[in-house]
Amino acid sequence: MPIYCYSSESGVTEEFFFRCSEVPVDVLLSNGERGVRDYRAEHPPRKAIAGWPLECVASGVAPQQAGELRDFFKKKGFRCEVSKDGNPIYENSRHRKAALKLRGLHDKSSFC
């Protein structure tokens, strides 16, 4: 059974177990107050795991083609490092988006 969080107006939050089909809108907390379901408490924000600069394997090329990719960026006047393995190294999300656009690639999972 999943855990559901309920919070009162005074800020008290408690966890409860319910079957998915039996989740109530509000519950009585142990301090006697009414608690409403708190989705934010159930799903706290996560820290981003990707750090910048980011070496992108997905938009990389074979190690033998790393020089060609470096030359391509240089010819286009775009500053982007390429690792010896052929993976471009992006400085931030804007840099990544611009580099992908320059190469005619699009990341459907980037929400951009």
> Is there a single domain that holds both residue 26 and residue 60?
no
Cα 13 to its chain centre, rounded Å, is: 27
Phi, psi of 85 (to 5 degrees): -85, -5
Confidence of residue 78 (pLDDT cuts 50, 70, 90): very high
Neighbours of 59 (CB within 10 A): 16
Q: How many domains does the chain have?
A: 2
Residue 36: strand, helix, or coil:
strand
The residue segments making up the domain with residue 74 are: 54-102
Considering only CA atoms, which of 60, 69, 63, 62 is closest in space to residue 84? 63
Per-residue pLDDT tens digits for 36-65? 999 988 887 766 666 789 999 999 999 999
> Is there a single domain that holds both residue 64 and residue 38?
no
Q: pTM, whole model, 2 decimals?
A: 0.54
User: Residue 62: inside a domain, yes or no?
Assistant: yes
User: Residue 112: inside a domain, yes or no?
Assistant: no
**From CA 103, how far away is CA 14, in angstroms rounded?**
51
